[in-house]
Amino acid sequence: MDRSAIDAIVELALRADGTRSLDTLTPTVILHTNEGERIVSLEPYGAGRTRFRGTYATGSLPSFIAQVLANVDGRGKVDGFIEPEKMQAVVFFNLGTAVSPGHGDHRSTLTLKKTAAFASLLTAVSRPHTQRSLAEWIEDWREFLTPVTDGQPNGDTIAKVIAAVRDITVKTAREVTNVERDLGTTTSAMASIDAQSKHVLPEGFLFETEPYAGLPKRTFTLRLGSQSSDDKIVLTLRIQQAESIDEKIAQDFEKVLRDGLGDTANLSLGTFSV
């Protein structure tokens, strides 16, 4: 049964119960109910949809680019929006123009996910460490780490660094000053606490990894710090110029998208809602 025959049957049925059809691209009727009239789409009951639309979502940059390119054929340029701060992008295939607007309900969306190494790095710098927890983290991610002194690789092995971290001791020195006066005595005490290791601790590390899959590798410079109180040691890691690196990663994201999509998409920075 072809489409014209289906339309004819639908028209006869509508006339029979007084329901009125609407002159729309998608078959639609005004249905009379006890609660009043409501508009009902007949599209789900046809052999296929009247137009193609849907939302594709992925965390893979190569898959996003490939899917967009595969759906651009015959559409001319499509519209896309990049939000570098959130590492997100969306491309609309039927947004249309201000003169001839589309529904904007056929799109591809991308939300990049951090690589395991980058996610671990961010976790490591966000919290203080005991000697044991830092040594274990260094051991787990040793292939990404290079010990440095004065910002340059110092030739130390990761095994040597782990031994130095595990072997830190706290030394406390106490100085007492006593002053005798005619009308009394004043005594003051100063204590200094120092964290030392039998091995030489590095000033920090270089940590090299892709922050997000599909983006260029970046080298993060980490500073190693320590705080001691009584007999307890707290070790910390800090990314140098973290804000500047975030900006550069966002720029990498935008560049890879523009290079991958080329002239097939009009890309703008920001978000767009329909």
Q: Which of 137, 159, 156, 136 is nearest to 146 (CA)?
A: 156
- pTM of the entire structure? 0.74
Q: Is the pLDDT of residue 11 over 60?
A: no
pLDDT band at residue 230 under the 50/70/90 scheme: low
Q: How far from the centroid of its chain's Cα atoms is residue 249's Cα?
A: 11
Distance CA 219, CA 90 (A): 29
256 close to 68: Cβ distance less than 8 angstroms: no
Question: Where are the chain's structural domains?
Answer: 1-50, 116-241
Q: Is the pLDDT of residue 190 over 90?
A: no
**pLDDT tens, residue by residue, 57-88:** 999 999 999 999 998 876 678 999 999 999 99
Residue 28 is predicted with a pLDDT of 77
Q: Please give the sequence-ordered ranges of beta strands (E in DSSP) within 84-217, or none if there are none.
A: 88-92, 106-111, 145-149, 152-153, 168-181, 184-197, 204-209
Q: Is the pLDDT of residue 158 over 90?
A: yes
Residue 77 is predicted with a pLDDT of 86
Instruction: Give the least confident one: 34-43, 189-198, 209-218.
Output: 189-198
Q: Which residue has better confidence, 27 or 138?
A: 138
Residue 204 is predicted with a pLDDT of 93
Distance CA 81, CA 109 (A): 10
Residue 9 is predicted with a pLDDT of 56
Distance CA 162, CA 141 (A): 12
220 close to 239: Cβ distance less than 8 angstroms: yes
Q: Which of 59, 255, 114, 268 is nearest to 67 (CA)?
A: 59
Q: Quick one: CA dihedral 68, 71, 75, 76, positive or negative? A: positive
What are the backbone dihedrals phi and psi of residue 70, each rounded to the nearest 5 degrees, phi first?
-70, -25
pLDDT, the chain, mean: 82
Q: Quick one: CA dihedral 242, 244, 250, 253, positive or negative? A: negative
